[in-house]
């Protein structure tokens, strides 16, 4: 039987958090190329404007709204402005996150709070706010949380980060269960080690090369390796998928 599967997000509005670098920039470009209006949020306004200009130069429609997700009091205002300028949000890519390398004994309380406030609290209240709008407008929306293989195994020097991503995994399942009857799909992408502008220098070092040699396929991923999964989960083809954690790690969890 012949099939013709394509991803068309025309008429959709996608809000992407952490859209100033790395995955967030890539996600915004991919969703825009598929036809969605994209709302870019992040802490660095000059970077948001640069990403917005690049998307518009490629023929897309983008709105840039500065936001630090740890300032949860500002999330509602940001979502209000996003809907005013780009229409009702039907896709949320909850991408804002960070890690702080440290041993357990050396991690400072301030750094612990920064990790948890960004990776868990900010993500929860952004999904809560957008999910409530989807419920109110009866939108069969898509929420994609960005977790990590750290949700399934403790990564060396990143215990608190791994804890936060395990929380994201359970958050995803809990929200998916609560909103299933409303046809709001909530899923998570759990990437392995992928080269971005934030870690590319590390992977060129002797230590980084040694780490790569410990992976089953002795290679590190690229941002484009997440494209297909993201597009699937944001599209109508994901009608039967919710509460799922998609591990994209080239087998790194197998070690």
Residues 6+ apart with CB under 8 A from 103: 157
Token output for 35: 């036809």
Q: Are 91 and 234 in contact (CB under 8 A)?
A: yes
The CA distance from 72 to 11, in Å, is: 28
d(CA 253, CA 152): 8
Instruction: Give the catalytic positions in this structure.
Output: 161
C-alpha to C-alpha distance for 174 and 168, rounded to whole angstroms: 10
Contacts of 246-249 with CB under 8 Å at 24 or more apart are 246/187, 246/188, 246/189, 246/190, 247/149, 247/152, 247/190, 247/192, 248/189, 248/190, 248/191, 248/192, 248/221, 249/149, 249/190, 249/191, 249/192, 249/193, 249/221
């Amino acid at each position: 039987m012949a099939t013709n599967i394509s991803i068309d997000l025309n008429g959709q509005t996608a809000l992407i958090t952490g859209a100033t670098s790395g995955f967030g920039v890539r996600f915004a470009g991919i969703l825009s190329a598929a036809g969605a209006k994209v709302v870019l949020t992040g802490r660095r306004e000059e970077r948001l404007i640069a990403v917005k200009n690049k998307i518009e130069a490629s023929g897309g429609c983008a709105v840039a709204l500065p936001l630090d997700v740890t300032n949860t009091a500002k999330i509602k205002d940001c979502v209000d402005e996003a809907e005013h300028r780009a229409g009702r949000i039907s896709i949320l890519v909850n991408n804002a996150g960070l890690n702080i390398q440290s041993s357990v004994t050396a991690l400072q309380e301030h750094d612990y709070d920064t990790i948890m406030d960004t990776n868990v609290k900010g993500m929860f209240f952004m999904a809560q706010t957008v999910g409530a709008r989807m419920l109110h407008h009866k939108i069969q929306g898509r929420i994609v949380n960005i977790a990590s293989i750290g949700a399934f195994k403790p990564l060396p020097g990143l215990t608190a980060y791994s804890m936060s991503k395990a929380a994201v995994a359970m958050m995803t399942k809990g929200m998916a269960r609560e909103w299933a009857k409303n046809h709001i799909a909530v899923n998570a992408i759990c990437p392995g080690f992928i080269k971005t502008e934030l870690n590319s220098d590390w992977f060129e070092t002797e230590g980084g090369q040694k780490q790569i040699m410990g992976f089953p396929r002795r290679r590190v991923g690229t941002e484009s390796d997440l494209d297909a999964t993201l597009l699937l989960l944001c599209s109508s083809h994901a009608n039967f998928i919710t509460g799922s954690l998609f591990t994209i790690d080239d087998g790194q969890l197998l070690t």
